[in-house]
Structure 1
Amino acid sequence: MEQITFDQINILGNIVEENALYRHFHYPEMLVRYDSNFIEFKTIPSLTEFKEIENYLRDFHVKRGQKHVKFSFPANIKPTEELSAYLADRGYETGFLELYTIQPKDFPSITNNPDIDIQAVTDRTLNIYLDLQYKHDLEIGNEFAEQKADLIKRQFTDHDILQVLAFYKGSPAGYVDVIVSNETAEIDNLTVDESFQKKGIGSRLQKFVMDSFPEKVVILVADGEDTPREMYKKQNYLYQGFKYESYKVYED
């Protein structure tokens, strides 16, 4: 298949405005999810263009009770020094994402641990899956956790999304979502509960994905400043590029 790019990454949101410079994504079902409510630039804007679009997005969000603005910049291009200085001066948090891919056959073999059980979520285990994610999502806030629970229920009925749950000695310990397309399987929301980390659960969740979709290219996006990206490299994932993002949360 062709080179995998950030264009293959699923974005949960609707395009409500698009022109030569940007796409505006909006997801009214979950207004507090930054990754679903943002502007994606197609080219690096000038500072004048950015300020104009910043005002547009801020006004759009204020009318809907949203307290953030977020901007995503074109892949493999850093914002200009002038723009970066403006973002820093205005109190934006700026970071970058990294895109990785792997052929399932290249994922390292894993010694079976009978204490770990990986299952696709079913009607019987959906509430367990919901409870574990709700516990983690509360760290972001009650509103986010409530809206995320509704999202999980909607995605449970989506045939293009596989929800996976990990148990350790019978206790729910982690999860991952897999977004399936014709050619790719995207690993999303890979999480291991803090009390069960360093037991190989994250690797077993990934291996379940590899075994479930052996003919697809498995893709994932990692925080460019987070430690899991080093694990992905050791697991034979291939680096495909980077992408800068900036966001700001307003107090009122």
Structure 2
Amino acid sequence: MREITFEDIYTIGDVIFENDMYRHVHYPEMLIRYDSNFLEFKRMPSVDQFTSAAKYLREFHHDRGQKHIKFYFPPNMQIPGDLNTYLKDEGFSLGFMELYSIDPCEFRKKMNLEEVNVKEVEGQDFEKFISLQYDQDLEYGKEFADQKVELQKRQFKDPSIVQLLAYFKGEPAGAADVISKGDTAEIDGFFVLERFQRRGIGSCIQQYVMERFHDKTIILVADGEDTPREMYLKQNYQYLGFQYQAQKVFGE
């Protein structure tokens, strides 16, 4: 199996500018989506280099009515102490993501649950998929949720993306997107409603992915400070690395 890196992760957005320090990703169809509008550093910047890049991105976003700036740092590199201090002093939120992969045959399969039915979204399932997602996305505001619906409509038409909906006793309970690209299939947008958690639904969704894409390497990115990462390790996923990020949201 070849080496999987963060370069294999699907990004919604296009590189509109690039130099030897960073690449600028922009997605005009959804300006409010932080993960689609950011700068990604190719090498670790100094404080001065970061402030210059931040000024550029802030001006670019401000001109388009965007109220955030977000940055990804080079994978598997800690943020130096002076830059880390600067980011915290300037009010940036810091976090990191972790990359995992698994060969489908290595997935720790659980017993099939009769109460759970995982389906690929089509026809009338799409409205249920949208409704389930919309309620979740309202946490980030109505504008975000409305724009996410349009994004999901575009993805529904994309042959490289499979949208999954999990039912528990006939009721929509969880969902995921699977992006197929080359020799990988990436699990994204994966969630189970809180009231349905700890019933094996998440494992059933993953098992469906393992069987559907049995000839690919399954990859996913997890929040490095969130508990699902522990579940992935128990299910035999392999930890591949980390990537730090920083973002700041401005008021009116």
Tell me the residue number matched to 1:49. 49
Aligned runs of 1:23-172 on 2, under 5 Å? 23-172=23-172
Is there any run of 5+ residues in structure 1 with no aligned partner, and where? none
Equivalent residue runs for 1:163-202 within 5 Å: 163-202=163-202
Q: Which amino acid aligns with 1:87?
A: L
Name segments (4+ residues, structure 1) moved above 2 Å: none
Deviation readout 1:86-123 (Å, 9 max, x if unpaired): 00001111011100000000001211111100000002
Runs (5+) with no aligned partner, structure 2 = none
SS of 1:190's partner is strand
- Kindly state the Cα deviation for residue 79 of structure 1 after the two structures are TM-superposed: 1.2
How many angstroms apart in 2 are the aligned matches of 1:109 and 1:29?
Answer: 39
Q: What are the Cα deviations for residues 187-214 of structure 1, in whole angstroms up to 9, with x where unaligned? A: 0010101111111111100001000000
Secondary structure of the residue aligned to 1:112 is: coil
State the shift of 1:2 in Å.
Answer: 2.1
Structure 2 match to 1:2: 2
Equivalent residue letter for 2:193: D
> Within 2, Cα distance between the matches of 1:80 and 1:182?
35
Q: What number of residue pairs does the alignment pair up?
A: 252
Q: Percent of counterpart pairs with the same letter?
A: 52
Corresponding position of 1:216: 216
Partner of 1:205: 205
Deviation of 1:66 after TM superposition, in Å, equals 0.5
Quote how far apart the aligned CAs of 1:240 are: 0.3
- Given the two structures, how large is their TM-score scaled by the length of structure 1? 0.99
| Alpha-carbon separation, structure 1, partners of 2:81 and 2:156 | 43
